[in-house]
Structure 1
Amino acid sequence: MPREITAYSNPLIKRVRALREKRHRREEGLFLAEGLRILTEARESGRLPEYLFFARDSAGHPLVRALIADVETAGGEAIETVPDILSKLSGKDNPQAVVGVFAEFATSLETLDRHSAAIWLVAERLRDPGNLGTILRTGDAVGAGGLILVGECVDPFSVEAVRASMGALFTVPIVQAGWAEFLPWLRAGPGQLVGLSLDTDQDYRAATYHAPTFLLTGNEAQGMPAEYAAECDLLVKIPMLGKADSLNAAVATAVMAYEVLAQAKPSPR
């Protein structure tokens, strides 16, 4: 049976609130996810929270009941609380009905099967959690094999990134690696490295892509370093017809991913 916590001073509440900071997430190996949709996506992908906090008013919802039952069956703990505490945990004035505390999960390059998907997404020094979440959603939408984060990227387990992913964090494998680790791994097998660049005349629609295609998106402000661009098998550019010189990193990744998908698997007539 779920226990009830209504006191802000409860040690577990303080511990979970601290997970909003990267340092505490690293120390605990835990992260926060909020919202019934995201937690249901996690449950359907086989991941359950170690702690599930839910508001009393939401306890009757069938998806919340299913979450409570599965969490308790798996040895986790379901905790009934009040909206004010949920707000403190999530950092939002209008909290979601459920908040979960999950164990961080890591995937290494060596565990990836590059033959399992035609498209792979690679982001270099990505700084914005909203962009990271959107790229994960794009990866889920196009059936990408995973997202490889190269260099010092934003924490994929931050509350903001998890929120922006809308559950794709649990469905798209994520690997964090340095360039010196990623490039040798890539070159050890088949894989076309395609970079999004302003320093090329190659229109992305006129290029030919070969599976598995690894789409490399550079840092939002600086783009990718010249030495990284030099290692790409192909550099492509999305033409800009207005005054802006480039698209948002996540938008550009989505545009590119769907072009690669169109070549890999033509749309049904």
Structure 2
Amino acid sequence: MNNEVEYISSVANPRVKQWAKLLERKYREREGKFLLEGVHLVKEALAAGWPIEVVAYDEGSEVADLFAQEMESVSADPPTWVSVSPDVIAKCCETESPQPIFAVAYKRPITKEALFRAEQGLVVVLDGVQDPGNVGTIVRSAAASGATAVVLGKGTADLYNPKTIRSTMGALFHVPVLEVDLREVLPEAKLQGVAVAGTSLQAARSCYDYDFRRNVWLVFGNEGSGLSHQVSELIDDHLIIPMTGRAESLNVAMAATVLLFEAQRQRGLASKM
């Protein structure tokens, strides 16, 4: 390593206290930072060039060997590497048995204009999806299927909640995610010619009969109550996912994944025709 690494052992250390506060949303919003827990997320963030303030790792583990190349990085703005005790790891991580490394990352501001840059956009919109695991899984599916952005409306779980971050499996580093007022952005999208579609158990139109090869936004609602009334009124096309087996409905993350990969299928076929 280029420089001697600082060692912090006490959870009473002022820096540790500041890091641990980022487990709470109000401090994440105030500081513009969030925590990344575990080898995979830290690796993904570093590989993606995400802005990171500090990487803290357990000095007694072998995890440093996995990051030898990253520690020697001569990038323009490398993170500070800090060696810490297991107690510090436990203080700053939400999981019961945390991995021996975490990072403090900066939020990356994304403007609303990013939603309208692609000629054939595929944007996922979440209206009050409250479960962090569902939100993280949808972000992961969006990145995997080539979606151009994810929009989080009012009442949706915080993207930077540690549970949400873990569920994305690093996908948040590869697709723009914005928090916006859906009552403002959906009408704007419609004025720009975007087709706005949502799922509904009462819909008659199959998602497999829908044309996803245009500029389209897919809207998904709350796990229990579905789309809010205000957002539902802005939907152009209500779609249903046909089910030949016996199940009342699909989990919102599963439904989003089905539609996203149907869109990918159609767009992939269209590009080869």
TM-score normalized by structure 2? Answer: 0.90
Task: Please tell me whether the aligned partners of residues 115 and 123 of structure 2 are also in contact (alpha carbons under 8 angstroms).
Answer: no
Change (3 A) 1:133 1:117: farther
8 A Cα contact 1:52 1:68, kept in partner: no
Task: Say whether the 8 Å CA contact 1:48–1:71 is kept in structure 2.
Answer: no
Letter of the structure 2 residue corresponding to residue 160 of structure 1: K
Q: Distance in 2 between matches of 1:66 and 1:136?
A: 29
Partner of 1:203: 206
Query: Which residue number corresponds to residue 142 of structure 2?
Result: 139
Q: Which secondary structure does the structure 2 equivalent of 1:61 belong to?
A: helix
Give the counterpart of 2:131 among 128, 132, 151: 128
CA distance in 1, matches of 2:231, 2:96: 42
Q: Establish whether residue 61 from structure 1 lines up as the match of residue 73 from structure 2.
A: no
Comparing 90-99 with 25-34, greater Cα deviation is found at 90-99
Query: Given that residues 33 and 104 in structure 2 are in contact (C-alpha distance below 8 angstroms), is that contact kept between their aligned partners in structure 1?
Result: yes
Identity %: 28
Q: Which amino acid aligns with 2:43?
A: T
Alpha carbons of structure 1 residues 180 and 2: separation in structure 2 relative to 1, 3 Å: same
Superposition RMSD on alpha carbons, in Å?
Answer: 2.2
* Alignment counterpart, residue 82 of structure 1, candidates 82, 85, 94: 85
Gap regions ≥5 residues in structure 2: none
Task: Indicate the SS of the match to 2:262.
Answer: helix
**After the TM superposition, which of the residue ranges 256-265 and 234-243 deviates more from structure 2?**
234-243
1:72 CA displacement: 8.2
Report the CA distance between 1:206 and its aligned residue.
Answer: 2.1
Q: Who is 2:35 aligned against?
A: 32
Superposition pairs for residues 91-170 of structure 1, below 5 Å?
Answer: 91-115=94-118, 118-170=121-173
Structure-to-structure mapping, 1:46-57, within 5 angstroms = 46-56=49-59, 57=61
> Does the aligned pair in 2 maintain the 1:49–1:71 contact within 8 Å?
no
Q: In 1, distance between residues paired with 2:103 and 2:167?
A: 16
Aligned with residue 227 of structure 2, among 210, 213, 224: 224
Measure, in 1, the Cα distance between the counterparts of 2:82 and 2:233.
53
Counterpart CA distance in 2 for 1:113 and 1:126 is: 23
CA contact (8 A) 2:212 2:266 kept: yes
Letter in 2 for 1:58: E
The farther-off stretch of 14-23 and 200-209 is 200-209
Alignment-mate amino acid for residue 124 of structure 1: D
Q: Secondary structure in 1 aligned to 2:22?
A: helix
Aligned to 2:10: 7
Partner of 2:176: 173
Give the Å deviation of 1:248: 0.5
The CA deviation at 1:59 is: 4.8
Structure 2 Cα separation of the partners of residues 59 and 256 of structure 1: 39
Cα distance change, pair 172–129 in 1 and its aligned pair in 2 (3 A):
same
Structure 1 residues 71 and 161, CA gap change in structure 2 (3 angstroms): farther
SS at match of 1:51: strand
For 1:116 and 1:130, the matched residues in 2 are separated by: 30
Deviations 1:86-108 (A, max 9, x none): 12211223211320001112212
Structure 1 unaligned spans of 5+: none
Pair 1:255 & 2:258 matched: yes
The Cα shift of 1:58 comes to: 2.9
Alignment CA distance shift 1:70-1:141 (3 Å): same
- 1:137-178 Cα offsets, whole Å, 9 max, x none, are 101110110101122211101111111111011111011111
Shift of 1:15: 1.1
TM-score (norm 1): 0.91
Report the number of matched residues. Answer: 268
Contact 1:118 1:211 in 2 (8 A): yes
